[in-house]
Amino acid sequence: MSLVHLLLRHARQTPDRPAILHGTQAWATHGQWAQRSAGLAQRMVAAGLVPGDRVVLFMRNHPRYLEILWAAWWAGLVVVPVNAKLHPREAEWIVANAGARWGFVTHDVAPEPLAGLEQQIDVESAACDGLLAPVSDAWAVPVIERDAQDVAWLFYTSGTTGRPKGVMLTHRNLMTMGLTYFVDVDPVTTEDVIAYAAPMSHGAGIYAIPHLMAGARHVVPASGGVDPAELFALGEALGPLSTFAAPTIVKRLVDHAEQHGLSADTSARAFKTIVYGGAPMYAADIARALRVMGPRFVQIYGQGETPMVGTALSRQQLADTTHPRWAERMASVGVAQTPVQVRVADTEGRSLPTGEVGEVLIKGDSVMAGYWLNPEASAAAVRDGWLFTGDVGCLDADGFLTLKDRSKDLIISGGSNIYPREVEEVLLTAPGVAEVAVVGAPDAEWGEVVVAFVVAQSRASVTTEQLDAHCLAQMARFKRPKRYVLVNELPKNNYGKVLKTELRTRL
């Protein structure tokens, strides 16, 4: 089972049909996509890459992302998508941990060579043009077949302590996710268009799989990111878009529609489906989104460990304002998606009765194979096939899951996961800092923002400007604290552990 056959199927049936666009400009048909991916696969194999080798993608959203993805799978390789917002030092840690051999980058994200790579290719360079030069006969380039349980996508997700962990997602995991989309999220046809505004290194990029299954078109906005005016214009030009968006992006789209007096009919011409997830969505915000843009929203809940598959709240359920429990359902994350079971358990893993709060567990063919080179963490996370998500919630009598909190200290800001400890370790290297504790504070736009409580060394003078400059030099901008609170001491228990609950209460 290889994801390559999804591309070959359409390259054979509809070789001349537009497949990839850059803005409104044609980039590749299905046939051209296959020819370029086959050419790159052939050249990577000739250069000595062997099945199972890891290839890093550290780049902004770009049409070549899709061509490189399928080329890597054609050659039997494992893709390691890296968040383009990360600091190069953070990306280098992932390169080392994954043992990646090649890396594809954009110059704006990685202006200097990343340590540890045998080959680093700027996707906008002449060298990459040569590597992706199409072969005349894609069918003559053999697909390096992989088993269903072989790793296809090594996704580095944030946890609560230490460094990020590499989530091993197999061809079966991703094929399950793709097929599930049609049943639980949205039907797709060849006329559809998926727009990659959110990072392709995350859920947005994974959603290329179901849209390729259906032979839909894939568009990367010319801006490479989220520009509401551009997205509305693309939808008007190409046909209603489908897209995956963190709640922050949804808010920006709704703000744009409201500020420019766009009707729900205009939104319908621009957007078919907006799938949101990755961070908490406030009930008031989705109610406003429905009022301004109409019933084109679907919520999903999953994790990197069960990609985009967990629960779903359909557009019909969101729009059914006559249901007696509509308000409660709108605040939920929906019901279990078709290929998985979802339950709520106590600390021993025993199922809890309806309405009781406990840890959310998920089981099914979407659940990861484990964490890369981390058997201890794998054994703790997946037990008897059940993924222990670390999220806390409850199920109602109809099977709707409502998340209450997280059992971990993980901060989710704008759909991105942030380790408090990682931020703390950086701040502790700043001159004059004695102690630090980092927590998340609720924020209407970002879901959460990072707040650092800092204790200065005796007689040291520490300013928020100095702390901010230090963080910007050491880590990705999105991870740095939005607020610094200078305090005389941190609250601690009898064992010397910082009481973060008390810090959150202060906020």
The answer to whether 58 and 104 have CB atoms below 8 angstroms apart is: yes
Give the residue from 306, 369, 370 showing the smallest Cα distance to 339: 306
The average pLDDT across 228-242 equals 97
In this predicted structure, what is the pLDDT of residue 507?
87
What sign for the dihedral angle of Cα 63, 67, 73, 77? negative
Produce one character per residue of 204-219: b if its CB has 16 or more CB atoms within 10 Å, e if not.
bbbbbbbbbbbbbbbb
Predicted confidence band of residue 32 (pLDDT cuts 50, 70, 90): very high
The answer, yes or no, to whether residue 228 has pLDDT greater than 80, is yes
- Alpha helices (H) along 358-429: 375-381, 420-427
Give the position of tokens 């007689």. Answer: 459
Q: Does domain 342-406 have CATH number 1.10.600.10?
A: no
**pLDDT, tens only, 151-163:** 999 999 864 445 8
Instruction: Give the DSSP letter string of 72-88.
Output: HHHTT-EEEE--TTS-H
Give the residue from 336, 326, 307 showing the smallest Cα distance to 395: 336
Q: How many alpha carbons fall within 13 Å on the CB side of residue 358?
A: 20
Percentage of the residues of the chain whose pLDDT score is greater than 70 = 97
The average pLDDT across 341-349 equals 95
d(CA 475, CA 453): 18
**Tell me, which fold does domain 1-146 have in CATH?**
Rossmann fold (3.40.50)
The average pLDDT across 19-26 equals 98
Give the residue from 178, 154, 147 showing the smallest Cα distance to 339: 178
The average pLDDT across 384-410 equals 87
- The pair phi, psi for residue 125, each rounded to 5°, is -95, 165
The DSSP H or E segment spanning 40 is helix 30-46
User: In the CATH scheme, what is the code of domain 411-506?
Assistant: 3.30.300.30
- Going from N- to C-terminal start, the domains of the chain cover 1-146, 342-406, 411-506
The average pLDDT across 28-38 equals 98
